[in-house]
A and B are shown apart, each in its own frame.
Chain A
Amino acid sequence: MMQRVPEPVVSVSHLTKRFGDIVAVDSLDFSLARGVTAALLGGNGAGKTTTLSMLLGLLLPSAGCIEIFGENMLTHRHRVLPRVNFSSPYVDLPHRLTVRQNLTVYGRLYRIRGLSQRIESLAADLQIGEFLDRPFGKLSAGQKTRVALAKALLNEPELLLLDEPTASLDPDTGDWVRSYIEAYRHHGNATILLASHNMSEVERLCSDVMMMKKGRIVDRGSPSELIARYGRATLEQVFLDIARGPHGDLPREAAQ
C-alpha cells in the first residue's frame, strides 16, 4: 500500500535575492514538514533575515519560488498570512500604545474571534498581565520580547518565523522564552523556523538545522548529525568550522 507523503508547510526552490551586485540569498532550496522546528544558522550577513523576510512576503525575491501551505507567496500571500506570524528584533511595536492596545490592533488585523479572551490567555501564559496597560515603549527588553511573542502567537500561527528570538535577553528570560516556544510547537503541531546565531538555542529547540554562509545553505541536518559529521563536540564548533575553515563548505573528513 502506498503511503501518502504529507505536503510540506514550506517549500522553497531556487530562491535568490540580489541587491545590486550583492547576492544576499543564492538559490536556496528547502522544504519544511508540519510540526518541525528548524533553524537557519549562520553568521552576520549569511542571509537568514533576508530569507525570513521573503518567506513573509515583506521582501520580493529576485528569482525563485516560495510555496507555503501549497500557496504561491508571490501571488497569494494574503491567503497564507492569516496562518503565519513572526517576531523580529528588527521591527518594533508602536511605543506609545499600551500592550493591550497593540495586541488589540493586531488581533483585529487578523480578525481573531474572541479576541479579549485570547489576549487574556496569552497574557497569563506569557506572564505579561501585570503590564498589559503600560505603554510598550516603557517596558524592559525582556518584557518587550514577551509582548512581541504574544503578538506573534495571537492568531495561533501554523507557521511561526522567529528572528533571533532571544537576542539581548538575560539567560533566565532566554531560557523561559525557549521553553515557551517548545511548548507552543508541541501543543499546536506548529512549524517553527528560527534564524539565530545562538548555538545552544538551536541545539535545544531544533531538529533540523540549515547552515548558511554567503546566502547559501552549505550543510543541513539535525544538530547531532552535524556534530558527528564534522567530528566536533558542539554545534558552535561546527559553526566555526564552516565560518572560518579553508574548506568551510565541506565536512572535515571530506576536506581531508
Chain B
Amino acid sequence: MTALSAAPTRPRVPIDDGFAPARVWAMMLRYLYLLRSSWPRTLELVYWPAIQMILWGFMSRFLMTNSSWVARAGGVLLAAVMLWDVMFRGQLGVSVSFLEEMWSRNLGHLFATPLRPYEWVISLIFMSLVRVAIGAIPSALLAIPLYHYSIFSLGLPLIAFFSLLMFMGWAMGLAICGLILRNGLGAESIAWFAVFILAPVSAIYYPVSILPWWLQYVAWCLPSAHVFEGMRAVMFQHTFPVDHFLAAVGLDFVWLAAGGIVFLIFMRQARRRGALMQMGE
C-alpha cells in the first residue's frame, strides 16, 4: 500500500458560514498568476487604449483648427475616449476573468469549494480595477507629452466620472457573464461587442441634444450619458453638474442591481441544468 507522509490531522480547514476575504484574494491570485504568465495578455491591456488615444489625439489636433466647438476645450475628445475606455475595460475586466474559468473548464472545481458566488463577483470586480489601471494609466500618461493634455486636469470630478463609469461597466459585465452562463461559450463574443450597442446613445463625443428626441429618452437612462454630459460641463463651463452626478449615481445602483440579478438568475439556472460541470471549450 502507498505510504502517506502524514496521517490527516483534522481540522485543518475552518468550517465557517460567512464572507471570507481570503477567498476573494485566492481568486484574484488565480487571475494575477494568469496575467503574469502571459506577457501578450498584459501587452494587449495597454495596446488598445494607447492606440485609441493616439488616433483621437491626432483627430483632436486636426479639429482644434477646424471646429470651434472642439477648440473651446482642446482635450474634450481625448478625455471622452479615455473615459469611454474606462467603462469598456471595466466591463471587459469582469467578463474576461469570468471567461477564463469557462475556457479552462474550471467552474465545476470552483463551485465545489466553499467559494460563494458573491465572493467570486468581488474578485472579478477587483480584477477589473487592476486591468483598467494597467490599460488606462499608461495611455493617460502618454497623452501628456504627445498632446500636452492631462486628463488629471479634470481634478476631483475625474474620480467621480471614473467611478460612475466603472460601476456601469461592472453592471454590464455581470449581465454578460450571466448571458454567457445561459448560452454557453458560443455567446462569448457578447463580451466584446455588447458595450458598443450603448456607444451611440452614451453621447461620448457629442451632446445628447444631437440625438433624435426619442433616443434622448434612452440616453438619459444610461449613467454613461450623464457622465459625458457632466464631463463636457466641467470642461466647457468649468462647473460640476450635480444633477447629472446624482442621476448617474441613482442609475448606477439600478444598473448594478439589474446586472447582479441577471447573473444570479442565470447562475442558479446553470446549477439546475448541470452547466457548471459541462461548460468549456
Contact = CB atoms under 8 A, between A and B. Distances in A.
Interface of A: 19, 49-50, 53, 56-60, 76, 78-79, 81-86, 88, 90-98, 101, 104-106, 108-114, 118, 121, 124-125, 135, 151, 155-156, 158, 176, 179-180, 182-184, 186-188, 190
B273 interface: yes
Contacts of B8: 156, 187-188, 190
Interface stretch (B46-54, B88-96, B100-108): B100-108
B15 A97 contact: no
12 contacts: A53-B277, A59-B277, A78-B114, A91-B108, A92-B105, A95-B104, A109-B110, A125-B4, A155-B12, A156-B9, A156-B12, A183-B3
A180 B2 CA distance: 5
Interface residues of B, number: 51
A60 B109 contact: no
Interface in B111-137: 111-116
Nearest to A81: B114
B33 A90 contact: no
A68 B178 CA distance: 29
B276 interface: yes
B37 interface: yes
Contact of B113 (A81, A95, A124): A81
A92 B271 contact: no
Contact of A110 (B100, B111, B113, B278): B113
B23 A58 contact: no
Contacts of A176: 2
Given A58-B277, A59-B272, 8 more contacts: A58-B108, A60-B271, A81-B114, A82-B15, A82-B16, A88-B108, A93-B106, A187-B7
Contacts of B13: 82-83, 110-113, 155-156
Contact of B15 (A79, A86, A92): A79
B109 A53 contact: no
Nearest to A84: B112
Given A59-B276, A82-B114, A156-B12, A96 B2 contact: no
Contacts of A109: 23, 26-27, 110, 113-115
A98 to B, nearest CB: 8
Contact of A94 (B22, B34, B268): B34
Nearest to A52: B277
B148 interface: no
Given A101-B33, A108-B26, A188-B8, A90 B277 contact: yes
Nearest to B112: A56
Interface in B220-255: none
A151 B30 CA distance: 15
A33 to B, nearest CB: 18
Nearest to A86: B112
A53 B7 contact: no
Give the interface centre of A59, A118, A155, A187 by most chain B CB atoms within 10 Å. Answer: A59
Most A CB within 10 A of own CB, among B14, B17, B113, B277: B113
Contact of A112 (B12, B20, B107, B273): B12
B37 A97 contact: yes
